[in-house]
């Protein structure tokens, strides 16, 4: 156990050695073999530059831009860059947030607060929209209308039917996270505009790379502020702009649309609080690191990174198509390869890929959609993609030899029955109590069989079990 507050201070070199030892247990953030969570451009020197830039502004506070105009200048520059990439106009404005979830929460807040006369505002999204919309609806007490999709994409007819006089925002994805496909943004934006409703494009995941893929010839629909009816769009710079976490941009078509996003409060003895985003105090470190990253890579550099990513996607997709036992579940049209299993336990396959150094993201079944494996592909994967095919073949063979998971006998459970004691017992029985998460097929199979509400309760309980301070 490491004591974060020792009686006497510890030498810096010892602290750094302790941090390096802790990091030794993490998945690799570089090397092109982790298909979720991190985004690696494989550019020499970029990490060092970002770290140095972060250090220059780590103690700068974004609370008051008049006190720290350097941060204001960097934020405005990042917003301008995003507006250029996403075809904003002269009136386009935006804000720098801590990540995609915050950007989506603020897009919903702006839409809700623009209509104080609506007592029970509603948000319409396709079923494939990111879960952060559900989080936004929950936090902001907005009713969430989730609309079934058609062919993995939002269905314009069904979306139109879901809009009511209480709808304050319609949203869709470019692309969806789970499958990497782009919703029919022009049709949806036109429907929303015709009903007088704001329309937000969640481009947090792939919004930075889509314009470059289109420049390379990818057959993708219009999705950004060039589309009439799109009132706001979000894009994460810590994804395909390859900035360190966490920096996202929320753009509005004009200032009037953005104004309800702000929070202001003066009715107390202290300073008047004015916040464009959720946080008040904000470190300038991530913003400076993002600024340095964009300046270092440049437009030509991003086009080259998109080229490598596109080539890697093609190679991985070809490997899936050539391997018996797996199949492409979604068209690999952006930066995602999504595969399903045929005749092999998908969760065992994920474990076998991990055993060969390929760390993927299993996705549970939803409605009539089967479980799948998600691969987020970055530029770094281009250098390792050729090694994936033989390992996929070997992993499929090993998964077939192991056979499907035999689910352990469990009593009938409901969310209300989940207690800390039950979670601790389950973790012990499933071999998770010691912190070994390398064999997850049984756990994922149990979660896949559980209804969503029970799955939420189980994972909430498990995360709460993990997040306990060590006993002294």
- DSSP letters, 235-281, are EETTSTT-PPSS-EEEEESSHHHHGGG-EEE--SSSPPEEESSS-SS
- DSSP H/E element including 381: none
Instruction: Check residue 410 and give its pLDDT.
Output: 78
**21-40 pLDDT tens trace:** 999 989 999 999 999 999 99
Q: Is the pLDDT of residue 426 over 60?
A: yes
Is residue 314 over pLDDT 70? yes
Instruction: Say what percent of the chain tops pLDDT 70.
Output: 100
DSSP 382: G
Rounded Cα distance between 220 and 153, Å, is 13
CA neighbor of 460 nearest in space, from 411, 416, 405: 416
Rounded to an integer, the average pLDDT of 47-70 is 95
What confidence score (pLDDT) does residue 438 get? 82
Longest alpha-carbon distance in the chain: 70
How many whole angstroms separate alpha carbon 399 and alpha carbon 345?
Answer: 7
Q: Using one digit for the tens of pLDDT, what is the confidence trace for 370-394?
A: 999 999 999 999 999 999 999 999 9
Whether residue 72 is predicted with pLDDT greater than 90 in this model: the reply is yes
Given this model, what pLDDT does residue 321 score? 97
Nearest to 410 by CA among 400, 402, 418: 418
Of residues 109 and 425, more confidence is placed in: 109
Judged against a pLDDT cut of 70, whether residue 239 lies above it is answered with yes
428 by Cβ neighbours in 10 Å (0-12 / 13-18 / 19+) ranks as exposed
Of the given ranges (141-145, 165-169, 315-319, 433-437), which has the lowest mean pLDDT? 433-437
Residue 1's pLDDT is what?
A: 72
pTM reported for the whole predicted model:
0.95
Question: Which H helix or E strand runs over 98?
Answer: none
**CATH 3.40.640.10 in the chain, residue ranges:** 52-294
Lowest mean pLDDT among 181-190, 264-273, 417-426, 463-472: 463-472
Dihedral sign for Cα atoms in the order 306, 307, 308, 312: positive
Q: Are 367 and 360 a contacting pair, CB within 8 Å? A: no
Is 3.90.850.10 the CATH classification of the domain at 52-294? Answer: no
Confidence of residue 231 (pLDDT cuts 50, 70, 90): very high
- Reply yes or no on whether the pLDDT at 432 is more than 90: no
Average pLDDT of span 149-158: 97
* 472 pLDDT more than 60: no
Q: Does 80 have pLDDT greater than 60?
A: yes
Judge whether residue 430 has pLDDT over 90. no
pLDDT at 437: 85
Model confidence band, residue 16 (pLDDT cutoffs 50, 70, 90) = very high
C-alpha separations of 174 from 18, 180, 208, 221 in Å: 41, 8, 10, 9
Question: Which of 77-81, 167-171, 434-438 is the least confident region?
Answer: 434-438
């Amino acid at each position: 156990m490491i004591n974060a507050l020792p009686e006497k201070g510890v030498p810096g070199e010892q602290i750094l050695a302790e941090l390096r030892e802790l990091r030794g247990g993490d998945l690799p953030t570089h090397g092109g073999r982790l298909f979720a969570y991190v985004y690696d451009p494989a550019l020499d020197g970029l990490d060092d530059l970002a770290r140095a830039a972060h250090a220059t502004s780590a103690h700068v506070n974004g609370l008051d831009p008049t006190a720290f105009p350097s941060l204001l200048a960097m934020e405005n520059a990042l917003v301008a860059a995003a507006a250029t990439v996403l075809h904003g106009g002269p009136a386009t404005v935006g804000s720098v947030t801590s990540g995609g979830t915050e950007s989506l929460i603020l897009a919903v807040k702006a839409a809700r607060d623009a209509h104080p006369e609506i007592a029970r505002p509603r948000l319409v999204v396709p079923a494939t929209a990111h879960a952060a919309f559900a989080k936004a609806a929950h936090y902001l007490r907005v009713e969430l209308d989730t609309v079934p999709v058609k062919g993995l994409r939002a269905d314009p007819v069904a979306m139109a039917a879901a809009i009511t006089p209480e709808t304050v925002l319609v949203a869709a994805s470019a692309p969806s996270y789970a499958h990497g496909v782009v919703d029919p943004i022009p049709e949806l934006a036109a429907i929303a505009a015709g009903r007088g409703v704001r329309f937000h494009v969640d481009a947090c995941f792939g919004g930075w790379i889509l314009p470059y893929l289109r420049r390379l010839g990818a057959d993708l629909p219009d999705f950004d502020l060039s589309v009439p009816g799109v009132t706001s769009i979000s894009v994460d710079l810590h994804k395909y702009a390859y900035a360190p976490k966490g920096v996202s941009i929320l753009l509005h078509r004009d200032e009037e649309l953005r104004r309800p996003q702000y929070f202001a409060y003066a009715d107390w003895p202290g300073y008047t609080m004015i916040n464009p985003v959720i946080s008040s105090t904000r470190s300038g470190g991530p913003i400076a690191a993002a600024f340095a990253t964009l300046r270092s890579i440049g437009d030509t550099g991003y086009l080259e990174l998109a080229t490598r990513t596109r080539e890697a996607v093609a190679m991985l997709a070809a490997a899936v198509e050539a391997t018996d036992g797996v199949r492409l579940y979604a068209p690999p049209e952006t930066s995602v390869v999504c595969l399903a299993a045929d005749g092999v336990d998908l969760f065992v396959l994920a474990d076998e890929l991990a055993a060969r150094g390929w760390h993927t993201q299993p996705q549970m079944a939803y409605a009539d959609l089967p479980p799948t494996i998600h691969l987020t592909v970055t530029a770094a994967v281009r250098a390792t993609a050729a090694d994936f095919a033989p390992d996929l073949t070997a992993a499929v063979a090993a998964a077939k030899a192991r056979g499907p998971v035999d689910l352990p006998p469990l009593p009938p459970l409901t969310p209300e029955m989940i207690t800390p004691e039950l979670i601790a017992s389950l973790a012990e029985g499933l071999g998770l109590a010691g912190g070994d998460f390398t064999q997850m097929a049984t756990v994922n199979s149990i979660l896949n069989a559980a209804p969503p509400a029970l799955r939420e309760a189980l994972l909430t309980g498990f995360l709460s079990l993990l997040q306990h301070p060590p006993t002294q």
